Structure 1
Amino acid sequence: MKIIAIIPARYAATRFPAKLMQMLQGKPIIRHTYENTVGTNLFDEVIVATDSEIIFNEITQNGGNAIITKGNHESGSDRIAEVAREMEVDIIINIQGDTPFVNKPALEEIINVFKDETVQVASMMQILTEQKYIEDYNYVKVVVDKNMNSLLFSRSVIPYPRNKETVVTYYEHIGVYAFRKEALIRFTKWEMTPLEIIEKIECLRYLENGVPLRMIVVSGIGVEIDTPEDLERASIALGG
């Protein structure tokens, strides 16, 4: 199989404008993500897909591979589909630009799920333990069935602990997706769905069209940087 990684990189992030160009240990976040992805040696090609000349220049001037895309995409998946549509490729990994700690074991695991021919889309999750993050709407939660297929994603606390005597494991959705090319192209042809619009979570479009995501539990992915507080946590994690 030909496998590529595409990193959608929008400059004007709503919650933390220009976050991908914020410095983390002397280097912009987007370069950490790109270089860590390339460093896994898992992909035939790694591309940053961006609407920003600033991000484009940051990657290309440091020896990386980037493409300027349209600026009006509703989601990262729409952005990477613009790049992937004309490519000869089997599996596409969508690595969010704000995941600078992405690592090889987790990416290998998500690639391996496609040995199951029924899997069309896959993604990652990690265990959330701190109550303040469980309740924080910036942390997208996910619940799965016994086969590790997603049932629901939400910014709310799911599952809700109505029974206080039962131990609950909470999972944070990590913004790394993997698609068969055909599944990605179908996604871009569907209208935005009600839950997707309400929650601002793009993968709900798959669920609302009857396509579950195969989820894998990972560790060591670290902080997804959505807020200035996350950036501070990421810096501490790197010893800064």
Structure 2
Amino acid sequence: LKRALTSSKEVANPGIVKVVTNSNGEALYFSRAPIPCDREKGPGKFVAGLHYVHLGIYIYTRETLLRVSTLPTSPLEEAEKLEQLRALEHGVRIRVWETGHQSLRIDTPKDLREAESALKRMTRQRTPVRSAARTTARGKR
């Protein structure tokens, strides 16, 4: 999945993995670098409709997963520390769909701490909901 970025700060952040796709929605490249670069605006400058964050959700056929898991790590994967580049470098096509969903990313220890805090806040704010089975057992419908 990919979601449109909204600022130069996001584009320049190496903690945010950017994705560039072709006209068929297939990944051309994933990078921590600010890609693509608008030549006139300069590297890392946000351009609406041009910059997307990669959301790390994958769906593989069994055969593809078995194939990718046995491939050696690739130079690009090693450089960027992005496992999906192994598949791309070995000719596996990765289809990317766009979403408007804003999700938490967990790529660093700091991201993990922030996600844990968010989960705790969500858990505290949740109100108890009666299950249908308990309500029916009490004779209420």
| RMSD between aligned residues | 2.7
What residue number does 2:58 align with? 177
The 3 A distance-change label for structure 1 pair 173 and 182 is: same
Counterpart CA distance in 2 for 1:154 and 1:179 is: 21
Do the aligned residues in 2 keep the contact of 1:128 with 1:172 (CA within 8 Å)?
yes
Residue 168 (structure 1) shift:
4.8
For residue 153 of structure 1, what is the amino acid of its counterpart? F
- How much identity, in percent, do the aligned residues show? 34
Q: Does 1:134 align with 2:11?
A: yes
**Larger gyration radius, structure 1 or structure 2:** 2
Q: Does 1:218 align with 2:99?
A: yes
**TM-score (normalizing by structure 1):** 0.44
Deviations 1:88-128 (Å, cap 9, x if unpaired)? xxxxxxxxxxxxxxxxxxxxxxxxxxxxxxxxxxxx11111
Greater share of strand residues, 1 or 2?
Answer: 1
Structure 1 gap ranges (5+): 1-123
Deviations 1:5-52 (Å, cap 9, x if unpaired)? xxxxxxxxxxxxxxxxxxxxxxxxxxxxxxxxxxxxxxxxxxxxxxxx
Counterpart CA distance in 2 for 1:200 and 1:128 is: 21
Match of 2:71 among 172, 182, 190: 190
Q: Does 1:164 align with 2:41?
A: yes
The 3 A distance-change label for structure 1 pair 161 and 193 is: same
Counterpart CA distance in 1 for 2:48 and 2:118 is: 32
Do the aligned residues in 1 keep the contact of 2:6 with 2:48 (CA within 8 Å)?
no
Counterpart CA distance in 1 for 2:18 and 2:77 is: 14
Secondary structure (helix, strand or coil) at the match of 1:216 reads coil
Counterpart CA distance in 1 for 2:69 and 2:118 is: 35
Counterpart CA distance in 2 for 1:219 and 1:174 is: 11
Secondary structure (helix, strand or coil) at the match of 2:57 reads strand
Match of 1:153 among 25, 30, 45: 30
Q: Does 1:203 align with 2:80?
A: no
Counterpart CA distance in 1 for 2:41 and 2:25 is: 24
Structure 2 gap ranges (5+): 126-141
Counterpart CA distance in 2 for 1:127 and 1:142 is: 10
